[in-house]
Structures are given as structure tokens and as C-alpha cells.
Amino acid sequence: MFEPFGKIRWEIMRNFIFQCNPEDKIIIDLGTGNPAITDEICCKKRIKVDVNPSTNPDIVCDLEKGIPVDDNSVDICVASEVLEHIYHSKKLISEIKRILKPYGIFILSVPNICSLKYRFAFLIGKIPAHAAKADMFYKDDNEVI
């Protein structure tokens, strides 16, 4: 199911969630995938969000267009290996801030684009699919500089 580093990353993320004492908290898992990193975590409520209906999310949506959840309604937001797929990441971060309750917790992981594996790929002219332009290259919500 996982490459060795993927499994380590998965366990680290789950440990972060467990440290947040999720039993009485509402968790949203953005870009949930299948299996979801939040599966089998005891919590008050779990909301799985994904653009792909085949992962059986609770909410199917494009995160580029927002998160269809009420303001201040989530205790823990998990985004594992999602942000690198979003072109307007600042918009997504604003949405996460909007849905998190005061003192809510945001747990994020992204791939290390500077890893040796990706450095070799760059040397031979291969750019990883998740190497999107940074938000600073956008004048406004749609126009690329």
C-alpha cells in the first residue's frame, strides 16, 4: 500500500492527530483518499472531503472553490499531501482558517520538493506534477504573472 517513507509519514500524521485528543472533536480530512488518514481514529465526528467520488468522501468538492462547511465548525483540519495540488494555496489556507474553531488545529504535510529524489528528477528535466506555481506568481485570483 505504501512506500517505506509514505508509511512513516502516515504514522507521523496519525500520531499528531492522536496527540490532539480527538475523541470529543470534529475532524475534517481534506483530500481524504482511500484509505483516509483519519480512518479508525475515534472522534466526535469525521468529515471526509475529496474531489474524487471514488474515495467515498462525505463531501465531494473542488478545494480550489472552497470548503462547503460552516464557519468555526471544525476542531481539527487534516490536509495530508493536498496543498501541493492547489494552485491558489492562500485561498485554501483562508478557507481552513474560516472553518476552524478558535484554537482549532491544522495538521499539514507536503512532499519535500528539495529531496534528493526530486533534485535528480530536476537534473534530467522532469518536474514533479505537484510542483505548482507559488501564489506569489498570481496578480489576483485568476491571472498568472
Give 48-81 pLDDT, tens digit per residue: 999 999 999 999 999 999 999 999 999 999 999 8
| Cα separation of the two ends of the chain | 40
**CATH number of the CATH domain containing 62:** 3.40.50.150
pLDDT band at 124 (very low <50, low <70, confident <90, very high): confident
Report pLDDT digits (tens) over 15-29: 999 999 999 999 999
| Within-domain flag for 129 | no
Residue 26: CB atoms within 10 Å: 19
For residue 107, the cross-strand partners are 78
Q: Return the closest-CA partner of residue 29 out of 38, 18, 42.
A: 38
Residue 94: CB atoms within 10 Å: 11
pLDDT band at 86 (very low <50, low <70, confident <90, very high): confident
| Within-domain flag for 117 | no
**Total domains present in the chain:** 1
pLDDT band at 129 (very low <50, low <70, confident <90, very high): low
Residue 3: is its pLDDT beyond 90? no
Most confident of 30-34, 48-52, 117-121, 139-143: 48-52
| Within-domain flag for 13 | yes
Please state the rounded mean pLDDT for residues 10-15: 91
| Within-domain flag for 136 | no
CB 41 within 8 A of CB 63: no
CB 92 within 8 A of CB 31: no
Domain interval for residue 47: 4-112
pLDDT band at 120 (very low <50, low <70, confident <90, very high): confident
- 72 or 40, which is more confident: 72
DSSP 133: P
